[in-house]
Amino acid sequence: MLSAYLCLNKIIKQLYKYNYTNLIGNPIKNRKLIHFSIINLIKHYKNIEKNISNHYVYLSDYKRLSSKIHYIFKYSCALTICTKMKLKTLKNTFKKYKKTLLS
């Protein structure tokens, strides 16, 4: 069985390639997605998160991996929305879009 740590490194490299994280796995804004509407942007992030999580569901420590993936996509989405809507801080972004980002 594969280790979640090895899978997470592989996932982070792919997410870096597509501008969702930096090299060490911290979420970043994705400027390529700023032209999406807010609804489509959130749907896009949730869909990718779901696809990645479903792919690695067989891992023994899946819960740890899926929570890290969720964290990356939630904050990358929030940072992208923050940039798109010129909200200046993540606090303002979560205040305005809390219900749709947290689910």
The whole-number pLDDT of residue 61 equals: 86
The whole-number pLDDT of residue 4 equals: 76
29-51-9-20 Cα dihedral, nearest 10 degrees: -10
Residue 75 CB: number of other CB atoms within 10 A? 21
The whole-number pLDDT of residue 54 equals: 92
Looking at residue 101, its amino acid is L
Which two three-digit tokens encode residue 82? 């923050």
The whole-number pLDDT of residue 97 equals: 87
pLDDT 10s digits, 22-76: 999 999 999 999 999 999 999 999 999 999 999 988 888 889 999 999 999 999 9
pLDDT higher than 60, residue 83: yes
Q: What is the pTM of this model?
A: 0.91
Our count of domains for the chain comes to 1
* Domain containing residue 26: 4-102
